[in-house]
Amino acid sequence: MAAVMTVIKRTLTLSIIRGQDAEGNTVTKSYVYSNVKPNVEPAKLLATGKALGSLFDNEIAGLTVVERAMLIEE
């Protein structure tokens, strides 16, 4: 019995550094981009995230990809 997982939805989250709070902790703002094509290569996702991040005045804190997948048995 084999299992097959197919990605059906992806979301790209871009976190931008906004500064520091009173205790010196980094404050970030996240921007979520949904409807990312499920079959996009990781290198292209990274390039896209960096390109979007370059539109902001502050530095990128991180890029996160969340996937929703369908799991079926063959």
**What is the predicted pLDDT for the residue at 4?**
94
Tell me the average confidence (pLDDT) per consecutive run of 10 residues in the chain, 74 residues long: 91 96 95 93 95 95 95 91
- Please spell the DSSP secondary structure of 2-69, one letter per residue: -EEEEEEEEEEEEEEEEEE-TTS-EEEEEEEEEEE-TT--HHHHHHHHHHHHTTSSSPEEEEEEEEEE
**What is the predicted pLDDT for the residue at 60?**
96
**What is the predicted pLDDT for the residue at 74?**
86
